[in-house]
């Protein structure tokens, strides 16, 4: 896991830059109101393929517990309800999807996208285990653990938990198979039918979110996964209705973009110009400082990649803020969290944009930082 995790982290930076260009230019083209419907559907397929590729990168990083999380206060009941239609389409009409929700369910803190990955991966495995039809059940409940629960490789400590149980009526597994289900690339499916990353991804996400996952299964008696998330005492944030797509937030400030990948830098320039910003560009930290020093007007924000040849983003930001203390800094990176920490950025920092990003994401993040 550690070896493949390092490999995934090394690939992630360049791969996410490429995906950013694919997804980003798809966004720009789709934003044109004069686009023909026939062409629009083809561009949407390009964007969806880019997003699927980004999700695969996320899976590799998630199982090695090195993905950058953006946790929020969540209700599992609401998250599963939001994913219900997608889950039903995924498992097909011959499987019955049953939702059993605790009405007073507590809240958890987790990354919403990662929760969707858990639901999807468990649903896919359940579907494949029920080739002749059956039932897939998602059940939620509150649970207080009073004494440490000991298992062969870990312990569940006393605490209040929100528990998600996903069970199927499929073929089940023997003890030997169960012992290996969370190994990356281990699969019982025929060649070409699975990557072997699904349950490893679930395991990585749950552990990274501070939870635990148990599996109980017997041949011909189905399988049940129980996932324990620490319950938190917080209020659910209210969000505006998404029934209508609201216009992207715009600005008129001057932004200096430091990014060594030329294609991604060009995309960001096109994004920001369309949103009303004045854009300055540089391919590395030293060039960025030269551009800033020779620009005759104030620069309100530095948007910089963290890992660049020569002067990296952290050193650039320090030099830039020292010279222009009223300016803001927004970092961007496609690297894993431990790499970012090594470059001086704390996990979950407010001023961090994770690659690949959409035009909507960068537009909202810029206003958040500039305010």
Q: What's the pLDDT at 108?
A: 94
Residues 59 and 82 in one domain: no
Where a domain ends, among 63, 85, 114? 63
- CA–CA gap between residue 165 and residue 138 (Å, rounded): 6
Domain coverage including residue 337: 254-370
DSSP SS3 for 145? strand
User: Checking phi first, is residue 367 left (phi over 0); if not, alpha (psi -120 to 50) or beta?
Assistant: alpha
- C-beta separation of 17 from 332 below 8 A: no
CA distance to 126, 136, 351, 358, per residue, from 174 (Å) = 15, 20, 47, 44
d(C-alpha 211, C-alpha 228), whole Å: 5
CB atoms within 10 A of CB 341: 12
Count helices and strands (H / E) in the chain: 11, 14
* Separation of alpha carbons 44 and 65, rounded Å: 31
Give the pLDDT score at 346. 57
Per the domain annotation, does 241 fall within a domain? Answer: no
On whether the CB atoms of residues 98 and 116 are closer than 8 A, the answer is no
Residues 173 and 312 in one domain: no
pLDDT tens digit sequence for 198-217: 688 788 888 888 899 998 98
Asked if residue 244 is part of any domain, the answer here is no
Verify that 93 and 215 share a domain, yes or no: yes
Q: Residue 266 has what pLDDT?
A: 92
What's residue 114's pLDDT? 82
161, 142 Cβ separation under 8 angstroms: yes
Which residues are bridge partners to 167 per DSSP? 137, 224
Number of domains present in the structure of the chain: 3
* Domain presence at residue 238: no
- Regarding whether 204 and 169 lie in a shared domain, the answer is yes
30 within some domain: yes
Answer yes or no: is 235 within a domain: no
| Residues 218-227: tens digit of each pLDDT | 888 899 999 9
Q: Is residue 245 part of a domain?
A: no
- Do 34 and 138 fall within a single domain? no
Identify the DSSP state of 348. T
Phi (first) and psi of residue 160, to 5 degrees: -95, 130
- Whether 103 and 167 share a structural domain: yes
Distance CA(194)–CA(205), nearest Å, equals 19
Residue 252: what pLDDT?
94
Distance in angstroms (rounded) separating the CA atoms of residues 286 and 311: 6
CATH of the domain at 169: 3.30.565.10
Low-confidence stretches of the chain (pLDDT beneath 70): 1-10, 13, 55-56, 58-70, 184-198, 237-246, 335-350
For residue 301, the model assigns a pLDDT of: 96
Which pTM does this prediction carry? Answer: 0.58
Per-residue confidence (pLDDT) for residue 161, from 0 to 100: 95
């Amino acid at each position: 896991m550690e070896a493949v995790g390092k490999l995934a982290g090394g690939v992630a930076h360049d791969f996410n830059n490429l995906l950013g260009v694919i997804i980003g230019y798809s966004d720009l083209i789709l934003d044109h109101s004069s686009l023909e419907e026939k062409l629009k559907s083809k561009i949407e397929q390009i964007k969806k393929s880019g997003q699927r590729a980004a999700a695969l990168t996320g899976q590799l990083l998630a199982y090695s517990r090195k993905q950058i999380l953006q946790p929020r206060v969540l209700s599992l009941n609401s998250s599963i309800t939001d994913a219900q239609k997608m889950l039903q389409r995924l498992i097909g009409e011959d499987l019955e999807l049953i939702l059993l929700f605790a009405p007073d369910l507590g809240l958890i803190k987790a990354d919403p996208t990662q929760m969707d990955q858990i639901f999807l991966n468990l649903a896919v495995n359940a579907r494949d285990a029920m080739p002749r039809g059956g039932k897939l059940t998602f059940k939620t409940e509150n649970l207080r653990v009073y004494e440490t629960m000991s298992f062969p490789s870990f312990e569940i400590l006393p605490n209040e938990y929100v528990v998600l149980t996903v069970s199927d009526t499929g073929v089940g597994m023997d003890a030997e198979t169960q012992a290996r289900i969370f190994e990356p690339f281990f699969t019982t499916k025929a060649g070409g039918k699975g990557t072997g990353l699904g349950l490893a991804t679930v395991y990585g996400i749950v552990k990274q979110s501070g939870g635990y996952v148990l599996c109980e299964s017997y041949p011909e008696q189905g399988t049940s996964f129980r996932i324990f998330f620490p319950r938190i005492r917080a209020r659910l944030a209210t969000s505006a209705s998404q029934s209508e797509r609201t216009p992207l937030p715009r600005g008129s400030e001057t932004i200096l973009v430091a990014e060594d990948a030329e294609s991604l830098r060009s995309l960001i320039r096109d994004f920001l110009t369309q949103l009303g910003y004045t854009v300055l560009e540089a391919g590395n930290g030293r060039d960025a400082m030269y551009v800033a020093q020779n620009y005759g007007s104030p620069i309100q924000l530095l948007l910089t990649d963290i890992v660049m040849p020569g002067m990296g983003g952290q050193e650039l930001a320090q030099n830039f803020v020292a010279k222009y203390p009223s300016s803001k800094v927004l970092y961007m990176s496609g690297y894993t969290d431990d790499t970012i920490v090594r470059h001086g950025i704390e996990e979950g920092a407010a001023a961090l944009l994770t690659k690949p990003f959409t035009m909507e994401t960068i537009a909202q993040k810029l206003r958040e930082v500039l305010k």
